[in-house]
Structure 1
Amino acid sequence: MQLKKYTDYALRVLIFTGTKSEGKLSSIKEISDTFSISQNHLGKVVFELNKSGYLETVRGRNGGIRLAFPPEEMNVGKIVRQFEDDFIIMECFDKSKNECVISPACKLKHALNEAVQAFLHVLDSYTIKDLITNQGQLKKLMGID
């Protein structure tokens, strides 16, 4: 199973902002430079994270972004569900495009659905705080003071 880049980038933004000293602002440019992601694309991700309540934006010359609430309250499974609009991993998961003749009797889709649910269940046991427990190492790799 593979997450979309959009979801990957959302998690990276939350990890980056979560490693900053409490209340310290980050910029889209700073995150873009760190991860070599287009600022335009990252701007859309940040907009969605702000709209979803995960980020707080501060406007103005010295503005930027920061986590809207503590990282221990940000559930990774919930974030992934929010940023992945579907979990269609095979044709039979999409009723509108399913042309597989064995679909009505096939057990594979049930096994794969169970695997997806297990995947999400594991992510439900993690928070952004869990992903940044090694802050010193992360800060060094990301060039954060």
Structure 2
Amino acid sequence: MRLTQFTDFGLRALMRLAGRPERGFSTAELAEEFGVSRHHLAKVVARLAAAGLVETRRGGGGGLRLARPAAEIRLGEVVRLLEADQALVECFAADGGACTLTPDCRLKGRLARAEAAFLAELDRATLADCAWAPRAE
């Protein structure tokens, strides 16, 4: 399974926030630290905020912070949220896709079980298990 860049950026941002929960980070600061597009990261942050995983505050002492303790955020929850519009294969799409094998396909069930096992493994871990802060801080 391959995760999108959107999910990758989201996981990195959350791991960074979890590593320093007392500190607010700006999107620009995180984008620079990760070497990624600030615009793209802002879209990721917006989805995380809408889901109640992060909170944003403007002004002095503001920034981006976790909205819940890292120990209460399961990695599977994050991946499901950020990959919500990304079907593993075409036939998993909401509209069923255009695959002509669908009526007789013997692969779809196996792929569904593999995806479920992948997410179940991520559900075993929390963001606190992956919190990250640079050693030099």
Q: Same fold (TM over 0.5)?
A: yes
For the residue of structure 1 that corresponds to 2:134, the secondary structure is: helix
Q: Secondary structure at the match of 1:104?
A: helix
What residue number does 2:112 align with? 113
Q: Which residue of 1 aligns with 2:47?
A: 48
Percentage of pairs with the same residue: 37
Distance 1:58 1:90, change over 3 A: closer
Q: Could you give the per-residue CA deviations for residues 46-77 of structure 1, whole angstroms, max 9, x where no partner exists?
A: 12212211112121144211111210001111
In structure 2, how many angstroms separate the alpha carbons of the residues matched to 1:39 and 1:92?
33
For residues 106 and 120 of structure 1, the distance between their equivalents in structure 2, rounded to whole angstroms, comes to 23
Cα distance, 1:87 vs structure 2: 5.0
Instruction: Give the direction of change, closer, same or farther, for the CA distance of 1:92–1:53 in structure 2 (3 Å limit).
Output: closer
Count residues with an aligned counterpart. 136
Larger Rg: 1
Which residue number corresponds to residue 24 of structure 1?
23
Q: In 2, Cα distance between the equivalents of 1:109 and 1:128? A: 30
Provide the C-alpha distance between the structure 2 equivalents of 1:126 and 1:53, rounded to a whole number of angstroms: 19
**Gap runs ≥5 in structure 1:** none
Runs of at least 4 residues of structure 1 off by over 4 A?
Answer: none
1:19 Cα deviation from its structure 2 partner: 0.8
- Matched with 1:68 is 67
User: Which runs of no fewer than 5 residues in structure 2 stay unpaired?
Assistant: none
* TM-score under structure 1 length normalisation: 0.83
Aligned to 1:2: 2
Number of the residue aligned with 1:11: 11
Q: Would you say the 8 A contact 2:7–2:83 is kept in 1?
A: yes
What is the distance in 2 between the residues matched to 1:54 and 1:71? 9
Q: Which amino acid aligns with 1:6?
A: F
